[in-house]
Amino acid sequence: MFYKNNMAKILLLGSGELGKEFVIAAQRIGQTIIAVDSYENAPAMQVAHASEVINMLDGSELDRIVAKHQPDFIVPEIEAIRTERFYDYEQQGITVVPSAKAANFTMNRKAIRDLAAKELGLKTANYRYATSAEELQKAVAEVGIPCVVKPLMSSSGKGQSTIKSEEDIAKAWNYAVEGSRGDVVEVIVEAFVKFNSEITLLTITQNNNPTLFCAPIGHRQERGDYQESWQPAHVSQKDIQEAQEMARKVTEALGGAGLFGVEFFLTDEGVYFSELSPRPHDTGMVTLAGTQNFNEFELHLRAVLSLPISEITLEKAGASAVILASENSNNPTFTGIENVASLPKTDFRIFGKPTSRPYRRMGVVLTSDSLETPIEAIVERAKKTATLVTVNS
């Protein structure tokens, strides 16, 4: 059943570009959004009904704004939140999206990796944890070089690096600590998986309706952050079935309704589970190009509100490519947007972030074409188009 009176008050915790698109989707069907972040004028705040600026790692501050706004739903959009408070909010009758358990497990790489590998038996890279530079040295010796080091809590590749020699270990530890979000000083060390490609499988869990999957999304990363994504990705039927089964197992274990971005490595030995986000995924911004009948933000919202989703159809092929800043600025501006606007089958989003820094994602270019068009050509067009825009300090 659709949410009571067709109206809901949603507290959005994290107000970046993904949250902004979620707010827009919610506004279109009459829902009320309060956007929260640690700084003023964050992208989602610019389109929300109201906003709050707090430190979301402060449990008392979280309690204060929940009591103040009395939301029907709490929708986390970032990792750095005092997520253990979510269990109390559920006890108060507030729906945490997708669930308090899902938010707690997936905001910390240790919990979600142990759930996937140890409890559910999913195939993952060999991994260890470390809470100091000395422990990292030992962990690297156990998993082998090359390996990947990530903070347990981070996003958009912050703090992630690849160790290619023993000389990289100390530097990797310092970089991970600097890039960590929250107050957990611990890293995960993963053996390097020799993969042929990476995909995101957008997985939609529903209340009293079957789990649905979007067409697989391919993506390329640099510095641990995506640079281009495309849909559909080339995936064999065997691999897609294996990925769907893994995604179904882990989302069922986490519970709740909403969209999950589940990442996989595709290798000669099969599919490896990589990571999971309990919310719209950055690589899924390609769905803003109209590749599906509903974009990922609309799907997340509809699942949250128990609006039945009968099917997800692939309408056309598309690609996204990021627009990155190269300098620090407190007043970033853009040139070249008119060049993008003049191109056919092309669109763009400027996120409205009030400041920039090197490699910060400031916008995205979107391209699309018929399903008969080679996806490689669409991706190349997106990459070239993104270079037409310059972020100025």
pLDDT in tens, 333-345: 999 999 999 999 9
In the predicted model, what is the mean pLDDT of residues 167-178?
92
Told to judge if 279 belongs to the known catalytic residues of this protein, a careful annotator would answer no
Tell me if residue 275 is catalytic: yes
Give the whole-angstrom CA distance, residue 112 versus residue 94.
Answer: 23
Among candidate residues 190, 282, 296, 298, the one labeled active-site is 282
Mean pLDDT across 116-122:
96
* Catalytic one of 156, 274, 283, 320: 283
Q: Which residue among the candidates 59, 157, 290, 336 is catalytic per the annotation?
A: 157
Based on the number of CB atoms within 10 Å of its own CB, is 208 exposed (0-12), middle (13-18) or buried (19 or more)? exposed
In the chain, % of residues over pLDDT 90? 87
Q: Of the residues 155, 156, 320, 346, which is catalytic?
A: 155
> Per-residue pLDDT for 122 more than 70?
yes
- Active-site annotation holds for 349: no
Q: What is the mean pLDDT of the chain?
A: 94
* Cα gap 220→230, rounded to integer Å: 9
pTM given for the model: 0.93
Q: Widest CA span of the chain, in angstroms?
A: 61
Closest by Cα among 89, 111, 108, 109 to 99? 89
CA-to-CA distance for 325 and 351, rounded, in angstroms?
12
Is the pLDDT confidence value at 84 over 50? yes
Determine which one of 21, 77, 186, 263 is catalytic: 263
Strands (DSSP E) found in the chain: 9-13, 32-37, 50-53, 73-76, 95-96, 127-130, 147-151, 161-163, 187-191, 197-206, 209-213, 217-222, 225-231, 258-267, 270-277, 317-324, 333-335, 346-350, 361-369, 390-392
263 flagged as catalytic: yes
Q: Give the pLDDT confidence of 133-155 residue by residue, as tens digits.
A: 999 999 999 999 999 999 887 76
pLDDT tens, residue by residue, 41-70? 999 999 999 999 999 999 999 999 999 999
Clarify whether 385 is annotated catalytic. Answer: no
Q: Would you say the C-alpha torsion 273, 277, 280, 286 has a positive or negative sign?
A: negative
Choice among 275, 315, 326, 336 that is catalytic: 275
Q: How many CB atoms lie within 10 A of CB 221?
A: 15
